[in-house]
Amino acid sequence: MRDYLLTLCVTAAVTYLLTGPVRKFAIAVGAMPAIRARDVHREPTPRLGGIAMFGGLCAGLIVADHLFNLQGVFELSNEPRALLSGAALIWLIGVLDDKFEIDALIKLGGQMIAAAVMVIQGLTILWLPIPGVGTVALTQWQGTLLTVALVVITINAVNFVDGLDGLAAGMVCIASAAFFLYAYRLWMGYGIEAAAPATLFAAILMGMCLGFLPHNMHPARIFMGDSGSMLIGLVLAAGAISITGQVDPDLMKIFEGSEREATHALLPVFIPLVLPLTIIAIPAADLVLAIVRRTWNGQSPFAADRGHLHHRLLEIGHSHSRAVLIMYFWSALIAFGAVGYSVHSASSWIVFVIIGASAVGLVLLLMPRFTPRAPHWANRFVPPRYRHRGAEEDPAAAYEEEPVPVASGAQQGAAGAGMDEEAVERAPVAVGVSGVNGATAIGARSRFPDRRSIDSSR
């Protein structure tokens, strides 16, 4: 565990330190596309954050290769090299897309080629554990097709969910943490050496996401872009393939004992199959809904829109940060719930905890629909959104409670020249002025939230 933590920390540190220079490089080369109709952010923000994440991946693999307890992963398995080869290819395609906006079909072909590169080097699904039947060996073509399909689905699922600041990196970090616990338990608890590569991949993936998140949380100073979202999607898929198709479930010896014990142990057999799906459950659901929605409307499945789950949360009334936290909550509930049930499948309290947490999640989803109102006597002690509507009609109270914004020197001068209040409020702020967000590379952030519907075009 100490070596895994060291690898994680080095990966996170390298990713964090590289993100600042990468941001300046992205601004210099013009990797700052104009704001599109489906975007949530209100100012051009540099991309290419995947360059820093790829640097963290390389640093994590190099450090792990020099640690005594992890050297066996590189000596006994070719999977780390297969991962690095596929990651380099998909990262290069993502960098080109962040700068030149390449066609979606070209990206899809690149994703399939990257998956094929990993298959050629041995990172593939060899068999599937099926309860009641046992371990079913797959032919070379079956394993290849299943591996490529899983890689492509995972990459696009993560890419689709990358729509809010910090959303994709945080969800993948939560999923990889749950995956790390399961893979580490297989390796140390059951002594299955084939689970060591997947454990290493999960630790490195957590480091990549943790190192990038401080720069990507709302308001984001840089986006990971396709170079980052496709990269972490491929690393996540590589770990799922390694733990599913390389680890023999018979080594866990879960069918030993009485018939009753075998019945209780039947469900955890599915965990190697189900866990990779639970890790991407939220992104995959968003992917399926997006394809159905676009096809139903007569559009291409690859046509971008503003109908994703995170867009729906914003339309309900959640703030940007709350929408991200709600998506974090559901990802953690599904991933850690599956891991917890695999460890204590015979304990009914796990089910009740999951049901209770799901109920809490549903309440959080509906909070903007049912905003509580405080009584009149408590209006002075609660935030404005919870005050009784009658208090808003009192001009004196509004005058006492609402702070008066202080105009800057430029705005005061404009007001003195005869400009109206709206023009003064929207006066641009020059780049580099104190108080402007670090993500501002062109102009000032608008002080008024955009309340147009998702179907409106800008």
Assigned token pair, 188? 């140390």
Res. 270: pLDDT tops 70: no
Three-state secondary structure call for residue 223 = coil
Binding residues for Mg(2+), as ranges, are: 159, 226
pLDDT (0 to 100) of residue 275 = 59
| Average pLDDT of the residues in 423-447 | 39
Per residue in 404-421, pLDDT tens?
444 444 444 444 444 444
| Average pLDDT of the residues in 175-180 | 89
Q: Residue 137: what are its φ and ψ, rounded to 5°? A: -75, 140
pLDDT (0 to 100) of residue 252 = 57
Contact predicate 266/131, CB 8 Å: yes
Distance between CA atoms of residues 376 and 339, nearest Å: 48
| Average pLDDT of the residues in 353-357 | 79
- Enter the pTM of the model: 0.72
How many other CB atoms are there within 10 angstroms of residue 394's CB atom? 12
Separation of first and last alpha carbons in the chain: 50
Give the pLDDT band (50/70/90) at residue 260. very low
pLDDT (0 to 100) of residue 136 = 76
Distance between CA atoms of residues 209 and 158, nearest Å: 13
Share of the chain above pLDDT 90, in %: 28
pLDDT (0 to 100) of residue 306 = 62
Per residue in 219-233, pLDDT tens?
888 999 999 999 999
Mean pLDDT, the chain, whole residue set: 75
Distance between CA atoms of residues 82 and 64, nearest Å: 15
| Average pLDDT of the residues in 168-190 | 86
Using CA of residue 140, residue 142, residue 145, residue 151, what is the dihedral sign? negative
| Average pLDDT of the residues in 356-360 | 80
Among left, alpha and beta (phi > 0; psi -120 to 50; other), residue 252 is alpha
Assigned token pair, 422? 């709206």
Distance between CA atoms of residues 59 and 80, nearest Å: 13
Res. 333: pLDDT tops 80: yes
Res. 363: pLDDT tops 70: yes
pLDDT (0 to 100) of residue 386 = 60
Per residue in 200-219, pLDDT tens?
999 999 999 999 999 988 88
* Radius of gyration of the chain measured on its C-alpha atoms: 25
pLDDT (0 to 100) of residue 133 = 64
